[in-house]
Structure 1
């Protein structure tokens, strides 16, 4: 973060009358920590990574053996240490290797670091399959914020463009989690009740948006294949041009409702627009 916009710690804000919500630790839930984990070691604008360069493509699940392990090129991220772990494992299904996710009241995900320019390589393709779902699973209610299937894109950008509210929020997340939020996160979700193609904003930050591409029981038990123009979706969700994509993630979570949610994920790819 550039120095003119560096924020004082929460103790300074409290001393000056900006008292945070007493439940601020609770609101750092799955969505926010998912985005923080997806950001990983992504560089801030103008900085270089200390780690090896991220690949220019998403690691396909089909390139891994169906041996019940994590797919190659993907790494787990824990959203909160006090939450149960969503189980992710490769398996053979319909003649190919896919990823199975099972959440028993859990909330953890997988991420694949990438370095992709969506203006050139912004055609997103993926498939998922959900056999059954609790209709209460939704990202539209901040008290619940559960979904059987999500594909999450984390974008880099200029933090100087953030509002003061988002800057404060970003610093709070970093204080409590030790991770930086990406400049923007766009989540494609299967929701229990929200309208198709509806966009929803996370209640604590405008830099996290949900785009509903499957909804309710329609399509359950069948593979749903999606192809999206990431640039068009980002423009519609955020009203600006997207920066580089720094990671792609999947998330199946049901910790708020304490129910079982499961999904199969096929390969996720980003190709030429």
Structure 2
């Protein structure tokens, strides 16, 4: 059976909606709980946990450089942008009726000062983690939530992507106070889709990471530790 994984991302020219038809992988991510306070700030994360070959890249404006590196003794994903944007995605069904909690760790080397993140010209983030769900019967009826490390928005602030109302941005981290330190987060994906789209979802179509600076011509590096889903924190 084939699903459509719709990546909601745009360039400075306007709405970029790309639909890719890929075979779904059969296995779910292993359950592993890591709460918001489960990892001390600055502590090394769990390893990224999957081969980069299991992910696919889509370019929007040049290519963010994605590579596996050793950081603090563990293998993590490094992403570096120099005014460009590409997304690294994994089409993998996740049963959020059983494992609704998304757990991850990340770190950035800087944030972007002086940009208006809720505008088209400032829609750049030093780190993003997407989750995508099909929310209608047609293949292109998809919605996405972007959990972002914001530069200026307040933690907890949410807004519609400036190019499409089918993508919601949620600032889970913001500013420079934790730059250079590992941070861990947990979000209830099912609850977030219900709150922001009014949809009850049982399954995700996939998820993705991105570090981008194409709209404002900026540079940043982020590192991602393990990304996984669990039933309990």
Shift of 1:205: 2.8
- Unpaired runs of 5+ residues, structure 2, are 1-10, 31-46
1:63 to 1:186, Cα distance in 2 relative to 1, 3 A: closer
TM-score (norm 1): 0.69
Whether the 8 Å contact between 1:61 and 1:97 is mirrored in structure 2 is yes
User: Which residue of structure 2 lines up, in the alignment, with residue 244 of structure 1?
Assistant: 203
User: Which residue of structure 2 lines up, in the alignment, with residue 109 of structure 1?
Assistant: 87
1:194 to 1:84, Cα distance in 2 relative to 1, 3 A: same
What are the superposed Cα offsets for residues 157-200 of structure 1, whole Å, 9 maximum, x if unpaired?
A: 2247xxxxxxxxxxxxxxxxxxx645110110011101111111
Whether the 8 Å contact between 1:202 and 1:208 is mirrored in structure 2 is yes
Is 2:27 the counterpart of 1:55?
Answer: yes
For the pair shown, the structure with the greater C-alpha radius of gyration is 1
User: Which residue of structure 2 lines up, in the alignment, with residue 48 of structure 1?
Assistant: none
User: Which residue of structure 2 lines up, in the alignment, with residue 41 of structure 1?
Assistant: 21
CA distance in 2, matches of 1:263, 1:25: 22
CA distance in 1, matches of 2:145, 2:99: 16
User: Which residue of structure 1 lines up, in the alignment, with residue 124 of structure 2?
Assistant: 146
CA distance in 1, matches of 2:13, 2:191: 33
User: Which residue of structure 1 lines up, in the alignment, with residue 133 of structure 2?
Assistant: 155
Is 2:181 the counterpart of 1:222?
Answer: yes
User: Which residue of structure 2 lines up, in the alignment, with residue 74 of structure 1?
Assistant: 55
User: Which residue of structure 1 lines up, in the alignment, with residue 33 of structure 2?
Assistant: none
**SS of the counterpart of 2:88?**
strand
Match of 1:119 among 97, 100, 106: 97
CA distance in 1, matches of 2:27, 2:92: 5
1:259 to 1:113, Cα distance in 2 relative to 1, 3 A: same
CA distance in 1, matches of 2:206, 2:218: 28
Greater helix fraction, Structure 1 or Structure 2: 1
- RMSD (Å), alpha carbons: 2.3
Shift of 1:138: 5.3
Whether the 8 Å contact between 2:102 and 2:189 is mirrored in structure 1 is yes
CA distance in 2, matches of 1:52, 1:86: 24
Q: Give the aligned length.
A: 206
Whether the 8 Å contact between 2:24 and 2:93 is mirrored in structure 1 is no
Shift of 1:56: 1.8
Shift of 1:224: 0.7
CA distance in 1, matches of 2:104, 2:214: 25
1:156 to 1:185, Cα distance in 2 relative to 1, 3 A: same
TM-score (norm 2): 0.80
User: Which residue of structure 2 lines up, in the alignment, with residue 87 of structure 1?
Assistant: 65
Greater strand fraction, Structure 1 or Structure 2: 2
Shift of 1:53: 4.2
